[in-house]
Amino acid sequence: MVVVMQERASEDQIQHVIATLVEREFDVHRSTGALKTVLGAVGGNRDFDTGLIEVMDGVQQVLRITEPYKLASRTFRPTPTVVSLGAFRIGGDEVIVMAGPCSAETEEQVEEAAATVARSGAKMLRGGAFKPRSSPYSFQGLGEEGLRMLRAACDRHRLELVTEVMDVGQIELVGRYADMLQVGARNMQNYSLLRELGRSRTPILLKRGISATIEEWLLSSEYVLAGGNTDVVLCERGIRTFEPYTRNTLDISAIPVIHKLSHLPVVVDPSHGTGLRDKVAPMARAAVAAGADGLLIEVHPDPDRARSDGAQSMFPEQFERLMAELRIIAPAIGRSICVEPAARRAAVSHA
């Protein structure tokens, strides 16, 4: 921490700040300039509230140095984390696509969605069984019956399953069906849930809260990492801004920022990020071009009749066209995307 004293700060005020810091076990270095005194404080408690110094008399500004996250930082681990799932890996050269419906609705709908996803070369099926909805009157998901449908479709099509877990009480149940557990944007700061997922050994997909800073997002990942679960994948899904036209503003720049600050992989969800079907393909292409490690996309066999998120779900043929476009873009940054299913099956048999 660096404490900048006001130009007119008295010696008493300076001494009071120094004494407070020393009491909190900081080592303090003092630089007395012509205009201002600046104090550098090192050591002390990582959990120290710098605001405490900020409100002291004579203090102009307090500048915090140490990033408050540790295990999630590049400083702690300079090489990228690669999360293995079945026969593929998130965070490596291949860009991984996770796709499927917002919610599991019927046996047929799940099967059709899974078939589309597998046929186009995507590697994971996404789909919800427990849905956090802003209105209590909205469809809340099929529960365990939905999980069963999703699992069966994954097994038939050799896909891995990612699905949301909404609270501590659901972890065990959802964990019996899923290959990856998703923490939704609204739960990004549900610390009870994060702490418990730290004890799990299933990979976690951690969505960014709608108004979370990147630092807060990494701090939330720290709750999981600190529990011993190192398989965390971050997911950008749009932040809230003043612009009303799109539901959220997808923060594509979060991709290179995360890659600089952290070793964790980052994927992008353009479906929730825009809320509008015809904006999903452009934003998916943008995410891959900017270096995303994967995509999370809503696809539905019949979006007009979807029970939730129909407006942002792609038609199967739109999704297949997008996959073809992404195969052209990925090599521009030295990556591949979703090799064709045939090639993939061969790869699986040699794994």
Sites for a copy of itself among residues 103-132 (CB under 8 A) = 132
Neighbour count for residue 143 (Cβ, 10 Å):
14
- Taking CB under 8 A as the criterion, the residue among 26, 88, 177, 223 binding a copy of itself is 223
- Taking CB under 8 A as the criterion, the residue among 303, 316, 337, 338 binding a copy of itself is 303
Residue with tokens 């990612």: 162
Cβ–Cβ < 8 Å for 332, 271: no
Residue with tokens 């990033």: 67
- Taking CB under 8 A as the criterion, the residue among 312, 316, 337, 338 binding a copy of itself is 312
Kindly identify the residues of this chain, within the stretch 13-32, that bind a copy of itself according to CB under 8 A.
20, 29, 31
Kindly identify the residues of this chain, within the stretch 149-178, that bind a copy of itself according to CB under 8 A.
166-169
Cβ–Cβ < 8 Å for 159, 117: yes
Q: Considering the rule CB under 8 A, would residue 309 count as an interface residue with a copy of itself?
A: yes
Q: Considering the rule CB under 8 A, would residue 191 count as an interface residue with a copy of itself?
A: yes
- Taking CB under 8 A as the criterion, the residue among 123, 126, 151, 279 binding a copy of itself is 279
- Taking CB under 8 A as the criterion, the residue among 11, 201, 260, 349 binding a copy of itself is 260
- Taking CB under 8 A as the criterion, the residue among 8, 79, 201, 350 binding a copy of itself is 8
Q: Considering the rule CB under 8 A, would residue 219 count as an interface residue with a copy of itself?
A: yes
Give the total of residues touching a copy of itself (CB under 8 A): 109
The 8-class DSSP code of residue 50 comes to: T
Identify which of residues 38 and 82 has a Cβ nearer to a copy of itself in the complex: 38
- Taking CB under 8 A as the criterion, the residue among 80, 86, 291, 341 binding a copy of itself is 291
Identify which of residues 331 and 340 has a Cβ nearer to a copy of itself in the complex: 331
Identify which of residues 149 and 224 has a Cβ nearer to a copy of itself in the complex: 224
Q: Considering the rule CB under 8 A, would residue 251 count as an interface residue with a copy of itself?
A: yes
Kindly identify the residues of this chain, within the stretch 56-95, that bind a copy of itself according to CB under 8 A.
61, 63, 65, 68-70, 75, 78
Identify which of residues 158 and 321 has a Cβ nearer to a copy of itself in the complex: 321
Least distance (Å) between residue 75 CB and a copy of itself? 5
Neighbour count for residue 172 (Cβ, 10 Å):
11
Where b means 16+ CB within 10 Å and e means fewer, 183-198 reads bbbebbbbeebbebbb
- Taking CB under 8 A as the criterion, the residue among 6, 81, 202, 230 binding a copy of itself is 6
Secondary structure of residue 334 in the 3-state scheme = coil
**What is the rounded CA–CA span in Å between residue 172 and residue 20?**
47
